[in-house]
Amino acid sequence: MISVLGAGAFGTALAISIAEGGSLVWLWGRNGDSLRAMQDSRDCPRLPGVTLPDGLTCSGDLAELTATGPVLMAVPMQTLRQVLKAHAARLDQRTLVLCCKGIELSSGKRASEVVAEVLPGALPALLSGPSFATDIARGLPTALTLACAEPGLAAALQASLSTPTLRLYRSTDLTGVELGGALKNVMAIACGACTGAGLGDSARAALITRGYAEMQRMAAALGAQPETLAGLSGFGDLTLTCTSEGSRNYRFGQSIGRGEPFDPTITVEGAATAQATDALAARLGLDMPITRVVTGLVTGALDVTSAMDALLSRPLKEE
Ligand SMILES: NC(=O)C1=CN([C@@H]2O[C@H](COP(=O)(O)OP(=O)(O)OC[C@H]3O[C@@H](n4cnc5c(N)ncnc54)[C@H](OP(=O)(O)O)[C@@H]3O)[C@@H](O)[C@H]2O)C=CC1
Ligand SMILES: O=C(CO)COP(=O)(O)O
């Protein structure tokens, strides 16, 4: 049995896809009433029009987490530590497949580092790459990276979580895969702000390319393999979220660019991750100017005009 913790859009979509693939799946969410309603109605308010398959059980009671298989953690990054701590007795010693994309603001740590700190007996793996929850839930073709430091376990997870429409590639580079998923959200905000402010597709292409250079710089400094960022969790996800209004980070950026408010209840991982990355870059002495201006935009310290001025007035350099 596969367990999924976090019954938001992504956790529910993964649970649906894996259950459609023939595995039994148990999905937990913190709101007992809404999980009971999902179990009874077979509908999911976050994924309208999708029917939950028979092999999927929804629950609001984590005491029912008894199966020994992998546990997919699909809660937002800034809540991961709290969820791990609250349910430590049930989650320690388990294989935890981390599905969140971000860096913890309070510590500058990645999800696997948070797991190592809170539950040293758990085995962290990652699932990351270009994939909108609605696409996965509708059974549209999707390819993701499954990363785990232990090659044997990576292969076993790849086999048990892949489905006819969800194709997983393996990696042992946790750092690279984690940074690819986290940092692309920062670049998606930058690109959304750019198009929202009417600065054009050429400027967005420049942001994607120079943003990718920043991502590679951080990945190299933290010991990731250079080729990892060219994969699905990196180049792949950057392509998706910097060009599609399906991305919440991109839409959040657009609202900044247009000077419009944005619904604060929507999960936008890139806002906290920009700030965490900016602080990390400063500590490591890395030049990450796009991350810097996104931090200014999300904290309100910069408007789009001064953000563009800050980027364009930098000394000319080699590519
Ligand atoms: N949506 C997507 O297309 C994709 C999302 N991801 C990643 O998945 C992660 C989750 O995103 P997504 O599912 O979209 O977000 P949603 O906003 O759709 O859902 C977040 C879920 O987390 C729950 N949650 C929030 N705080 C806590 C907490 N303290 N304890 C327990 N549960 C909590 C929410 O519960 P409640 O419903 O009660 O508010 C909600 O069910 C993010 O890191 C995101 O980057 C990755 C790939 C694709
Ligand atoms: O990570 C995602 C797609 O791969 C989802 O992006 P958003 O969180 O920006 O919606």
Q: Which two tokens stand for residue 180?
A: 């690819």
Model confidence pLDDT, tens digit, residues 150-185 = 999 999 999 999 999 999 999 999 999 999 999 999
Q: How confident is the model at residue 249 (pLDDT cuts 50, 70, 90)?
A: very high
Closest atom of ligand 2 to CA, residue 132: 3
- What are the two backbone dihedrals, phi and then psi, of residue 180, each rounded to the nearest 5 degrees? -60, -45
Cβ(262)–Cβ(255) below 8 Å: yes
Residue 104 burial (CB count, 10 A): 22
Query: Looking at the predicted structure, is the pLDDT value of residue 29 above 90?
Result: yes
What is the band of 268 on the pLDDT scale with cuts at 50, 70, 90?
very high
pLDDT digits (tens, 9 = 90+) for 41-56: 999 999 999 999 999 9
DSSP 259: T
For residue 285, give the 3-state DSSP assignment.
coil
pLDDT at residue 67 in the model: 74
Average pLDDT over residues 236-241: 98
Pocket of ligand 1 (CB under 6 A): 6-11, 29-31, 46, 74-77, 79, 82-83, 99-102, 131-133, 267, 269
| Ligand closest to CA 9 | 1
Q: Residue 165, SS3?
A: coil
* Contacts (Cβ under 8 Å, ≥6 apart) of 26: 1, 2, 3, 4, 56, 57, 59, 64, 65, 67
Residue 247 marked as a ligand binder = yes
Which protein residues are within 6 Å of ligand 2, measured from CB? Answer: 101, 130-132, 185, 188, 237, 240-241, 247-249, 269
pTM over 0.95, yes/no: yes
Query: Which distant-in-sequence residues (6+ apart) come within 8 Å of 218 by Cβ?
Result: 179, 183, 277, 280, 281, 284, 286, 288
Q: What is the pLDDT of residues 73-112, one digit of tens each?
A: 999 999 999 999 999 999 999 999 999 999 999 999 999 9
Q: Which domains does the chain have, with CATH numbers?
A: 2-172 (3.40.50.720), 183-312 (1.10.1040.10)
Q: Is 317 a catalytic residue?
A: no
In the reported structure, the alpha carbon of residue 132 is separated from the centroid of ligand 2 by a whole-number distance in angstroms of: 6
Mean pLDDT across the chain: 97
Facing residues of 56 across strands? 25
pLDDT score, position 66: 77
The predicted structure's pLDDT at residue 56 = 97
The DSSP annotation for 201-234 comes to HHHHHHHHHHHHHHHHHHHHHTT--GGGGGSIII
Cα-to-centroid distance, 222 and ligand 1 (Å): 27
- Cα separation, 172 vs 183, whole angstroms: 19
Measuring CA to CA, which residue among 171, 129, 127 is closest to residue 150?
171
184 labeled binding residue: yes
Beta strand spans in 69-148 (E): 71-73, 95-98, 123-128, 142-148
pLDDT of 111 reads: 98
123-147 pLDDT, tens digit per residue, is: 999 999 999 999 999 999 999 999 9
